[in-house]
């Protein structure tokens, strides 16, 4: 019998810790740890911002702000995190505005924290000044398009020792995860399987010679960028970076514009400005433009798969069969019908 059960069944032995799968670390003790490793002889404060897939903390020290991210147990390996940081430093050194990693007093970028569930990895990042904006005017979409293009000039053929996003990761594995929460006999699952088959055929038909490849962010939208008073845009949260077609980033951004902007005319205007901004820096091939809508729908699959995978410590407050049915009908099907079907 495990020790934690033995100790719970007797009054003669002290209670051992019951095993856990995730935990929220004490902000007071995080502040103490950071004072030792980053900010000696300085007052440090720590506040939890978000306990999502990873946990994000706002750190204040020397009258400055920083972001401390603690990755969930086994969410990313040390190699994967090092590659994320290598990409961020590459972008920073080439003047792309990103939240970038900061070393401790011993020049280490990655920290190891002994959490109750096991060893968790953590990184300190610079603070991205500005505000998140849910909805913003077309000229800012132009600016974000040009920023993404500048980033892609630096990430094209820049290989990461991380996942390569293919139809297997985006469409097949993801729907397998979703199927654990959505029964096969539902109309929505039948629809997802039908769309999956169509999209897999589109992946196979893509002319890869016309698709630029390299490191992708895969999660650029309003929640992962801030805009300051001078309209400077800063990107952050490269947790899903990997290898793939660069147009995946365009597809995801355009998908999010469609999901947020309810006015069709404004939606078209904002997407058009985003693409013009991008092409003011570098061209988008005809094949990339053709496949972008299909990739957008595919990324709905991918992120539903992520929510399925992280049910135990992230999505359980909202993720269930009712949520999935509404999401599929109101977002996935709508985007498929409006952006993909008219092309075929």
**Max Cα-Cα span within the chain:** 74
The CA distance from 177 to 242, in Å, is: 20
Of 117, 127, 124, the residue nearest 25 (C-alpha): 117
pLDDT tens, per residue, the chain with 344 residues: 455 444 444 445 455 778 999 999 999 999 999 999 999 999 999 999 999 899 999 999 999 999 999 999 999 999 999 999 999 999 999 999 999 999 999 999 999 999 999 999 999 999 999 999 999 999 999 999 999 999 999 999 999 999 999 999 999 999 999 999 999 999 999 999 999 999 999 999 999 999 999 999 999 999 999 999 999 999 999 999 999 999 999 999 999 999 999 999 999 999 999 999 999 999 999 999 999 999 999 999 999 999 999 999 899 999 999 999 999 999 999 999 998 977 76
Of 321, 108, 309, 294, the residue nearest 204 (C-alpha): 294
The three-state (H, E, C) secondary structure of 186-236, written as one string:
CHHHHHHHHHHHHHHHHHHHCCHHHCCEEEECCCCCHHHEEECCCCCEEEC
Q: Which domains does the chain have, with CATH numbers?
A: 3-126 (3.30.200.20), 138-343 (3.90.1200.10)
* pTM for the whole structure: 0.94
In this structure, the dihedral spanned by the alpha carbons of residues 69, 85, 131 and 75, taken in order and rounded to 10 degrees, is -40
């Amino acid at each position: 019998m495990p020790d934690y059960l033995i100790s719970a069944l007797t009054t003669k032995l002290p209670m051992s810790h019951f095993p856990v799968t995730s935990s929220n670390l004490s902000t007071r003790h995080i502040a103490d740890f950071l004072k030792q490793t980053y900010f000696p002889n300085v007052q440090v404060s720590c506040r939890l911002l978000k306990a999502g897939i990873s946990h994000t903390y706002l750190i204040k020290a020397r009258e400055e702000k920083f972001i401390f991210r603690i990755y969930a147990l086994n969410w990313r390996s040390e190699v994967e995190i090092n590659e994320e940081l290598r990409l961020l430093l590459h972008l920073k050194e080439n003047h792309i505005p990103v939240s970038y990693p900061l070393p401790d007093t011993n020049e280490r970028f990655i920290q190891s924290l002994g959490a109750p569930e096991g060893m968790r990895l953590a990184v300190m990042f610079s603070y991205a000044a500005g505000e998140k904006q849910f909805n913003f005017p077309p000229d800012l979409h132009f600016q974000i398009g040009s920023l993404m293009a500048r980033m892609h000039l630096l990430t094209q053929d820049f290989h990461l020792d991380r996942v390569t996003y293919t139809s297997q990761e985006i469409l097949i594995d993801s729907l397998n995860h979703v199927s654990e929460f959505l029964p096969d006999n539902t109309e929505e699952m039948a629809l997802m399987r039908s769309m999956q088959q169509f999209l897999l055929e589109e992946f196979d038909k893509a002319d890869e010679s016309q698709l630029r490849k390299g490191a992708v962010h895969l999660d650029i939208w309003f929640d992962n960028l801030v805009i300051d008073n001078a309209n400077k845009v800063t990107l952050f949260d490269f947790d899903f970076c990997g290898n793939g077609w660069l147009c995946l980033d365009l597809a995801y951004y355009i998908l999010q514009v469609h999901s947020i902007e309810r006015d069709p005319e404004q939606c078209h205007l904002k997407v058009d400005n985003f693409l013009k901004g991008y092409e003011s820096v570098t061209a988008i091939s005809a094949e990339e433009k053709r496949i972008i809508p299909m990739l957008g729908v595919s990324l709905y699959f991918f992120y539903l798969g992520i929510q399925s995978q992280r049910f135990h410590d992230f999505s359980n407050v909202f993720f269930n069969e009712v949520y999935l049915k509404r999401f599929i009908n109101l977002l996935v099907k709508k985007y498929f019908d409006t952006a993909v079907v008219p092309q075929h």
